[in-house]
A = this chain, B = another copy of it.
Amino acid sequence: MSPASSSSSSRWCPTPEQLMILEEMYRSGIRTPNASQIQQITSHLSFYGKIEGKNVFYWFQNHKARERQKLRRKLGKQLQLQQQQQQQQQQLYYPLPLPHLFHYFDSPAASPLLFPQISSPNSAKFLPLQGGGGHEDASAQMMKYTWKVEKPSENVAEVETDNKKALMGKMYGRDWMMMVVDLVSPPPPNNNSSPCCAAAAHRPPLKTLELFPITATNLKEDNATTTPPPPTN
């Protein structure tokens, strides 16, 4: 794309203050700010440095995604462990997965020890993927949905997939606005011209900004894919 033009530093990078505010907002429950929210956030943050709406947008997008994936990873691991244990018990019945594959191992040491972890009951965990069950193209990437471990035929269920989502209630636009307001007062329009991430900043004397009237609140009503909109409220 951009041909490494020497002009303006291409990528936005949040100043410490901006980052902090963003994080605080996120913690407060904002996950997917809508247009007006983004705009306000942007204009607020723009006080601490150059920033655009899309930066805010992307930030939330990425932050949310990565937070989630982190969680997923964690859960996935736990799950895996649990499954392992379960499977270990089942190994009584399935001593060796796909014995006919084993002659590929020449070395005596390379036996089941090689795969301490997984070995699904009735399916080869060795070359599953595209093999029998046949799915999973490969365009996917890191921990998808909870490391989605293949469930053979046992119930095992994928409780994890959404319990997390269920856990975090939606509480967006409730009080997030007030925090747009608090949190440090903006320093003089410090236009950091450094390539990226001017790590400057002691924070200037606090000063309370005006509250902007909250109109937007959560009427988002995105009857989109997954996010279950607040039932009644």
Residue numbers of A with Cβ under 8 A of B are 1-3, 19-20, 23, 32-40, 43-44, 46-47, 52-54, 57, 73, 76-77, 80, 101, 104-110, 113-118, 123, 125-131, 134-150, 154, 156-158, 161-162, 165, 170, 172-174, 177-178, 180-182, 184-186, 204-205, 207, 209-210, 212, 214-228
> A218 near B136 (CB under 8 angstroms)?
yes
Once bound together, how far apart are the Cα atoms of A105 and B205, in whole Å? 13
> A138 near B220 (CB under 8 angstroms)?
yes
CB distance from A186 to the nearest CB of B (A): 6
> B140 near A35 (CB under 8 angstroms)?
yes
The 7 A-B pairs with the shortest beta carbon distances in the complex, nearest first, are A138-B172, A34-B140, A137-B220, A43-B117, A137-B222, A35-B142, A35-B144
Residue of B136, B186, B204 near A36 (CB, 8 A) is B136
Can you show 13 pairs from A to B with CB atoms below 8 A apart? A1-B154, A35-B138, A36-B136, A39-B118, A39-B149, A43-B116, A47-B115, A57-B139, A127-B180, A136-B222, A137-B170, A138-B172, A225-B226
What does DSSP make chain A's interface, helix, strand, loop or mixed? loop
CB distance from A153 to the nearest CB of B (A): 9
Most buried by B among A80, A138, A224: A138
Contacts of A136 in B (CB 8 A): 34, 36, 173, 218, 220-222, 224
Most buried by B among A39, A135, A180: A39
> B130 near A217 (CB under 8 angstroms)?
yes
> A35 near B178 (CB under 8 angstroms)?
no
Contacts of A224 in B (CB 8 A): 135-137, 144-145, 148, 158, 161
A123: nearest chain-B partner, CB-CB = B137
A208: nearest chain-B partner, CB-CB = B106
Once bound together, how far apart are the Cα atoms of A33 and B137, in whole Å? 10
Most buried by B among A34, A44, A212: A34
A118: nearest chain-B partner, CB-CB = B43
| Known contacts A130-B225, A139-B38: A109-B180 contact under CB 8 Å | no
Contacts of A140 in B (CB 8 A): 34-35, 222
Once bound together, how far apart are the Cα atoms of A226 and B161, in whole Å? 10
Residue of B129, B130, B181 near A105 (CB, 8 A) is B181
